[in-house]
């Protein structure tokens, strides 16, 4: 597969490859496998590729989306699909804080303690924010915030730890200017909390 997702993380564009000597057309394989899969997973497309194609090694970039719902009431339609928070967030401060995270950096402060990668040097090419109070699912009672990350690769829990840190900026617990120092310290203990897996989505793998 193009990447590993933690338990609870959603994937709407995961890519995987395998080799076979079967004469069954790729669409037929897709239909056959889908008939055996549980209800919470499905293959949405299948095609023949060159023998040297590798879903992970050939990926040029990946795009992830993190969804946050700000609402003081329960929203059953969002259960296990967002990070549900009460109160407000200073989005402007969060955007300012995220600027220093774009580029090639050592993200040691934002990776899981048990991460098996040899190092945490990665490249984030963009971090974008959007918010909406008009989503039909909220009935106008909440605000849906989405943070989109694109980069060449991410270490374990990197995005979730960044989001958790940005949330603490948005709540005034961490100053926006402190995020640059947190990045430079290369110490997980100085960064914010790890955001829950349920708000994270793998939305694109680019080749």
**Which listed residue (6, 40, 96, 184) is catalytic?**
6
The pLDDT of residue 134 is 67
The pLDDT of residue 2 is 86
Spatial contact of 124 and 151, defined as CB atoms under 8 Å apart: yes
The pLDDT of residue 77 is 86
Query: DSSP code of 24?
Result: S
Kindly list the distances between the CA atom of residue 182 and the CA atoms of 89, 174, 194, in Å, as whole numbers in the listed order.
20, 10, 14
Comparing CA positions, the residue from 95, 94, 110, 93 lying closest to residue 184 is 110
Going residue by residue through the chain (207 aa), what tens digit of pLDDT does each one get?
888 888 899 999 999 999 999 999 999 999 999 999 999 999 999 999 999 999 999 999 999 999 999 998 888 889 999 999 999 999 999 999 999 999 999 999 999 988 888 899 999 999 999 998 866 666 677 899 999 999 999 999 999 999 999 999 999 999 999 999 999 999 999 999 999 999 999 999 999
Beta carbons within 8 Å of 136's beta carbon, 6+ residues apart? none
Does the annotation count 96 as an active-site position?
no
How far apart are alpha carbons 137 and 134 in whole angstroms? 9
Comparing CA positions, the residue from 131, 132, 122 lying closest to residue 162 is 122
**Is the pTM above the cut of 0.75?**
yes
Domains of the chain (ranges; CATH) run 61-206 (3.30.70.660)
The pLDDT of residue 96 is 98
User: In three state form, how does the secondary structure of 140-197 look?
Assistant: CCCEEEEEEEEECCCCCCHHHHHHHHHHHHHCCCCCCCHHHHHHHHCCHHHCCCCCCH
């Amino acid at each position: 597969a193009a990447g590993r997702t933690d338990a609870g993380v959603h994937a709407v564009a995961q890519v995987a490859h395998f080799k076979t000597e079967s004469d069954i057309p790729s669409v037929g394989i897709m239909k056959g496998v889908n008939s055996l899969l549980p209800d919470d997973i499905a293959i949405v497309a299948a095609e023949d590729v060159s023998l040297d194609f590798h879903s992970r090694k050939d990926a040029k970039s990946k795009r992830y989306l993190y969804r946050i719902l700000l609402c003081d009431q329960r929203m059953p339609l969002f259960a296990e699909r967002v990070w549900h928070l009460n109160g407000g967030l200073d989005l402007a401060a969060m955007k300012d804080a995220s600027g220093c995270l774009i580029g090639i950096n050592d993200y040691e402060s934002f990776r899981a303690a048990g991460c098996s990668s040899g190092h945490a040097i990665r490249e984030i090419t963009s971090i974008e924010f959007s918010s909406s109070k008009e989503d039909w699912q909220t009935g106008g009672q909440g605000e849906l915030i989405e943070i989109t990350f694109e980069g060449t690769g991410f270490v374990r829990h990197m995005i979730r730890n960044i989001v958790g840190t940005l949330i603490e900026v948005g709540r005034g617990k961490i100053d926006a200017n402190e995020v640059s120092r947190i990045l430079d310290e290369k110490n997980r203990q100085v960064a914010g909390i790890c955001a829950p897996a349920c708000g994270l989505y793998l939305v694109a793998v680019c080749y």
